[in-house]
Structure 1
Amino acid sequence: MADTLELELGSLPLDGWHRARGGRMVPFAGYHMPVQYEGIIAEHRWTRQHAGLFDVSHMGQLMLRGPQVAEALETLLPGDITGLQPGRIRYSMLLNETGGIIDDLMVTNVTPTGGEPTYYMVVNGATKAGDIADLRRRLPAEITIEHLDDRALLALQGPEAAAVVEAIWPGVGDELSFMQGTSRDWEGVAVGFGRSGYTGEDGYELSVPNSHAEKLADLLVSDERVRPIGLGARDSLRLEAGLPLYGHDLDEQTTPVSADLLFAINKRRRADGGFAGSDRILAEIEQGPVARRIGFTVEGRQPVREGGRILDAEGNEVGRVTSGGFSPSLEAPIGMGYVATTLGAPGTALTLEQRGKLFRATVTPMPFVPHRYHRKGKA
């Protein structure tokens, strides 16, 4: 079975590029992907101090067009899509009919001036085929969904990312703030920019045709401030930033309320409802969920990984760890998981159990490391 699965793995446009730079390739989301180059901790710290280049081309890039496409998307997503202005990006979730999260995603309004309403959507790699099928089944037939499988997606993250981009594309840094997007012509093709990412740092996601992906990657790492970074550091960075990972911290049994993602449902959507599972979700907002996603720190040096049990003072299981690891920035083990809401207050003492060993933990506000997104008018 392992050999069969290995043969079925796809290759990203930069597969050879990663291997030539010493990337250690592993199976992830149906592709061969680099888990590390020089080492996870070194790559993590480089991204926090300089700029790291991540290949996230496994993710699904979609273009949705058609009459009243925003209104149609609002029947499936709890986010404010009709109020999203051109060039703006919004985090949201694709929900099932009971309010469970099918996937979390980013939506950008890329409607051209005077043109047909158009939205660019980035979905998770492991779920993209199911997402596309679900969207095609549930959206009106007149809305077209184009899978941009001819484009790569690169993420440049870190405090020096803006200066690197500005040196190549002058003006992009001044034009964009956090959760804003634009495009530029480069080498005869269009490159899409979104000032966002999943590390907690300032940075950009760049969409480029597969034919130009290697040239763009070479250009970016030719700057001494940029190094290629693998999946291992991407995971430790997003964990420090308190960002959930689909398939681990989020799934179809999880609602946006229990996942502590209420920021993605604005006042209008809470008042009007009308999205998949809205009755359940609005009731949870009013009454509180049974369980909630929390962050925790662990005493000692050993992290508690996904699947560890969370116990109360009497030894009763009250939740499960969904992500856990060692924080290179804090030099301490951290994690997140779900517990009964009554045990989710910061400072609450918990006991974690993994492989028969017990660990003391404390509920800790997230993010563990402060976000450093670029917001105009703020230092």
Structure 2
Amino acid sequence: MPDLKRTPLNDLHRELGARMVEFAGYEMPVQFPMGVMKEHLHCRAAAGLFDVSHMGQVILRGPSDNGATAFEALVPQSIAGLAQGRQRYAFFTNEAGGIEDDLMVANRGDHLFVVVNAACKAGDLALMQAGLPGCEVEEITDRALLALQGPAAEAVLAGHVPGVREMRFMDVIVAGSGFGELWISRSGYTGEDGFEISVAEGQAEALARVLLADDAVRPIGLGARDSLRLEAGLCLYGNDIDAATSPVEAGLDWAIQKIRRKGGARAGGFPGAARILDELENGAARRRVGLAPEGRAPMRAGVALYEAEAGGAPVGAVTSGAFGPTLGAPMAMGYVPAGLSVPGTRLYGEVRGKRLPVLVADLPFVPANFKR
């Protein structure tokens, strides 16, 4: 894979026996010798270390409130109301009310710190540079990003940065360490408690080795990352959400604060506001739902969903599907008409020409384990 970008941990992945694949233009580990199933279960039981250095890291500086008010012209979230030392899930929207990317934005006092998806990195940077006049948009290219996830994550990381014990879910800190300055958030993409750690690229391998030296920690690849986030009911950009999907359809209305909705002091003013505010008030025609296939066979992305066992046109489609190691059963997410989105509704997914039963299910499949 000579044309792919490599993260600062590439050599370590190979040393640990990772199977490498292409992902978002990077050479990334999809699994380690432990295998996807055991990696997944280990993260749920102890702690897993993920390399997420392919993600985009951006610092935003602006007048008066560090660009927070300006940023609200690009997202439906309350950024001006984000307290110092706190992080918020957000998404860029387009004029049609679709989602251009989902992201994390943190208030670090004298600037905002934004983390965006790898596949959308160039577009997001261009969007911020064009849409935030008077603000400085700086892409950070000399830092790696690690995620330490699982119930043992706090105890492991506190051995090197004691202050993380005081952090709550979505807190952010900048902390000194034996590996230089670390930018730490208590967040992740697994549904488990854990941290995302930005570290200077020259210190990334040393930090990773020290964390992996703990008996509780194992390296985890993209395969288990996907099954973990799916059990947690979390969206994957490009599968479960995209430029044609509205936040309300996607079930992400919880991420739009009251102050940005109709009647709020800072209502609207973001791309696609007309559609999004209307759907917040009146509902969307379709909804993202959990899906529980009967039997043991997963229903993968692209499987058409039908209301009847035979005949009729598709009413929806699966957007993500896999076997859930914690569940011990297959799981999926997809979109169906609002009238068919009630948990317990029976539908049929067409797999290799045969329609198999699937029930609409509550999300998440596995309850979140965040430290509130």
Q: Deviations 1:354-379 (Å, cap 9, x if unpaired)? A: 2212211000010000100001xxxx
Q: Distance in 2 between matches of 1:137 and 1:205?
A: 28
C-alpha displacement at 1:268, in angstroms?
A: 0.7
Q: Which residue of 1 aligns with 2:278?
A: 283
Q: Which residue of 1 aligns with 2:106?
A: 108
Q: Which residue of 1 aligns with 2:125?
A: 132
Secondary structure in 2 aligned to 1:76?
coil
Q: Distance in 1 between matches of 2:210 and 2:136?
A: 34
Secondary structure in 1 aligned to 2:2?
helix
1:339-378 equivalences in 2 (<5 Å): 339-375=336-372
Q: Which residue of 1 aligns with 2:170?
A: 179
Alignment partner of 1:154 is 2:152:
no
Q: Which amino acid aligns with 2:285?
A: V
Secondary structure in 2 aligned to 1:189?
coil
Unpaired segments of 5 or more residues in structure 2?
none
C-alpha displacement at 1:294, in angstroms?
A: 0.5
Q: Distance in 2 between matches of 1:177 and 1:315?
A: 49
Alignment partner of 1:59 is 2:55:
yes
Alignment partner of 1:77 is 2:72:
no
Q: Which residue of 2 aligns with 1:301?
A: 296
Q: Distance in 2 between matches of 1:246 and 1:188?
A: 32
Quick check: 2:179–2:203 contact (8 Å CA) kept in 1? no
Q: Which amino acid aligns with 1:16?
A: D
Deviates more, 1:34-43 or 1:186-195: 186-195
Alignment partner of 1:87 is 2:72:
no
Residue 189 of structure 1 is aligned with which of 180, 189, 201?
Answer: 180
TM-score norm. by structure 2 comes to: 0.96
Deviates more, 1:308-317 or 1:226-235: 308-317
Q: Which amino acid aligns with 1:27?
A: E
C-alpha displacement at 1:188, in angstroms?
A: 6.2
Q: Distance in 2 between matches of 1:21 and 1:71?
A: 45
Q: How many residues align?
A: 363
Q: Which amino acid aligns with 1:125?
A: A
Q: Which residue of 1 aligns with 2:6?
A: 11
Q: Distance in 1 between matches of 2:163 and 2:68?
A: 30
Quick check: 2:160–2:177 contact (8 Å CA) kept in 1? no
Alignment partner of 1:260 is 2:251:
yes
Cα distance change on mapping 1:188 and 1:354 into 2, 3 Å: closer
Q: Which amino acid aligns with 2:254?
A: F
Q: Distance in 2 between matches of 1:254 and 1:316?
A: 21
Q: Deviations 1:155-208 (Å, cap 9, x if unpaired)? A: 00000001111122113212x100001011123621011000000000000000
Residue 329 of structure 2 is aligned with which of 316, 327, 332?
Answer: 332
Q: Distance in 2 between matches of 1:107 and 1:171?
A: 21
Q: Deviations 1:106-131 (Å, cap 9, x if unpaired)? A: 0000114xxxxx10000001110111
Residue 224 of structure 1 is aligned with which of 215, 218, 222?
Answer: 215
Q: Deviations 1:282-308 (Å, cap 9, x if unpaired)? A: 111122111110001010000010000
RMSD in angstroms over aligned alpha carbons?
1.0
Secondary structure in 1 aligned to 2:120?
helix
Q: Distance in 2 between matches of 1:163 and 1:242?
A: 26
Q: Distance in 2 between matches of 1:250 and 1:8?
A: 28
Quick check: 2:306–2:315 contact (8 Å CA) kept in 1? yes
Q: Distance in 1 between matches of 2:202 and 2:55?
A: 17
Q: Distance in 2 between matches of 1:62 and 1:354?
A: 42
Q: Deviations 1:216-269 (Å, cap 9, x if unpaired)? A: 001100111001000000000000000000010010000100000011101110
Q: Deviations 1:288-341 (Å, cap 9, x if unpaired)? A: 111110001010000010000011125321111000000001111100001111
Secondary structure in 1 aligned to 2:305?
strand
Q: Distance in 2 between matches of 1:104 and 1:233?
A: 21
Q: Which residue of 2 aligns with 1:167?
A: 159
TM-score norm. by structure 1 comes to: 0.94
Deviates more, 1:345-354 or 1:314-323: 314-323
Q: Distance in 2 between matches of 1:258 and 1:300?
A: 28
Q: Deviations 1:79-130 (Å, cap 9, x if unpaired)? A: 1100001100000001112211000000000114xxxxx1000000111011
Q: Distance in 1 between matches of 2:187 and 2:165?
A: 12
Q: Distance in 2 between matches of 1:170 and 1:107?
A: 24
Q: Which residue of 2 aligns with 1:3?
A: none
Q: What is the percentage of aligned positions where both structures have the same residue?
A: 53
Q: Which residue of 2 aligns with 1:144?
A: 136
Q: Which residue of 2 aligns with 1:115?
A: none
Unpaired segments of 5 or more residues in structure 1?
1-5, 113-117
Q: Which residue of 2 aligns with 1:32?
A: 27
C-alpha displacement at 1:134, in angstroms?
A: 1.4
